[in-house]
Amino acid sequence: MRGVWPAALTMFDAEGRLDEDATAAHLDLLVTEGVHGLVVGGTSGEFVALTDAERRRLLEVAVEAVAGRVAILAGTGTYATSATIELTRHAEEAGAAAALVVLPYFQRPSREEVLGHYRRVAAATDLPLWVYNIPANAATDPLTTADLAGLYHEGVVSGVKSTLPTVHQIHELRAATDEGFRAFYGGFTAPLEAMAGGAHGWISGLLNVAPATAVELWEAVGAGDLPRARAVWARLLPLRRLVTDPAVRGVSDLALYRGLLRIWGRPAGFCRPPLRDLDPTELSMLEKTLQAAPWWSGFDRPSASNV
């Protein structure tokens, strides 16, 4: 498990229902674009807006659509340990390669309680567990390098999606573990630095709209060609800025990704409230912003055969 892994969008229809066909089409396109794996039911998949039954069905749809072409990392974390166990057991039965278990949220468990949460989930399933270390969206401090390395050496976890403000944990984890542990970078601000520092892969919602270019970045770093890698990242950087400094305000990054997909004629679906999609005026504004950007004409978009 290494490489470029989009945190795949979940597609809903205009009434907010799970759109299985659009979801399958989007996942198929990502695989066709050359990604190495998929995260299903993560933050960009709006897992917090899904019922447990929908989370199970989403994973089943994904496994069927992917048909073994790439591995799937299934988001199975909830606040409650018992519910996380049940979703993780289902992911194992459904055919996921591993489970991504987010830090507990809303309530504020102690560090020992968080470590116990992962130990109990691991004891209840044979599916490899990854920690989704995202303190900005959790109610607990991030697990430290020592915490993660300790859980790994206990046989509790086998990977992490590190969504911290910096990439330093990637470097530290590579020094504190061995190749049995997977340290993935989980942001979109510094993937080049993370890859150069030894990240086993990159997980991000941004990869829904730039999969092939991200794969090119991964391959350049893997080949040790840093000048080429910097040139590829320079092509991705304006797209990242569309999210960090958007032309359309008051919407989520997921709405912007969907807007880009819609402009390209790709399966886009809709957000589930309280998140909202771009209205027609905002979508037009986004498209005009792109057309006016000097980098846009040369940006890699999927070929007509892949749309």
- What is the pLDDT, as a whole number, of residue 305? 36
What pLDDT is attached to residue 137? 81
pLDDT attached to residue 294: 66
- What integer pLDDT is reported at residue 304 of this predicted model? 38
pLDDT given for residue 139 in this prediction = 79
Can you tell me whether residue 182 is helix, strand or coil?
strand
- Residue 277 has what DSSP assignment? P
pLDDT of residue 300: 61
CA separation (Å) from 15 to 24, 52, 272, 282? Answer: 18, 19, 9, 20
Helix (H) or strand (E) holding 241: helix 226-244
**pLDDT value of residue 183:** 97
Instruction: State the Cα–Cα distance between residues 15 and 29, nearest whole angstrom.
Output: 24
pLDDT, residue 106, reads 87
Q: Which neighbouring-strand residues pair with 132?
A: 102, 161
DSSP per-residue string spanning 12-39: B-TTS-B-HHHHHHHHHHHHHTT-SEEE
Q: Any residues with CB less than 8 A from the CB of 261 and at least 6 apart, and which?
A: 26, 208, 209, 267, 268
Listing DSSP states for 122-156 in one string gives: HHT--S-EEEEE-GGGSSSPPPPHHHHHHHHHHTS
pLDDT of residue 306: 37
What is the residue-level pLDDT of the chain in tens, covering all 307 positions? Answer: 999 999 999 999 999 999 999 999 999 999 999 999 999 999 999 999 999 999 999 999 999 999 999 999 999 999 999 999 999 999 999 999 999 999 999 889 999 999 999 999 999 999 999 999 998 888 788 999 999 999 999 999 999 999 988 899 999 999 999 999 999 999 999 999 999 999 999 999 999 999 999 999 999 999 999 999 999 999 898 888 888 888 788 999 999 999 999 998 999 999 999 999 999 999 999 998 888 776 665 566 654 333 3
Q: What local confidence, expressed as pLDDT, does residue 240 receive?
A: 87
Hey, which residues are catalytic here?
Answer: 132, 161
The C-alpha atoms of residue 8 and residue 128 are separated, in whole angstroms, by 20
- Give me the residue label for tokens 């209840």: 124
Contact yes or no for 208/6 (Cβ under 8 A): yes
Q: 185 forms bridges with which residues in the sheet?
A: 162, 202
CA dist., res. 142 & res. 75, Å (int): 18
Print burial letters for 213-222: b (CB count within 10 Å at least 16), e (below 16).
bbbbbbbbbe
Query: How much is the pTM?
Result: 0.93
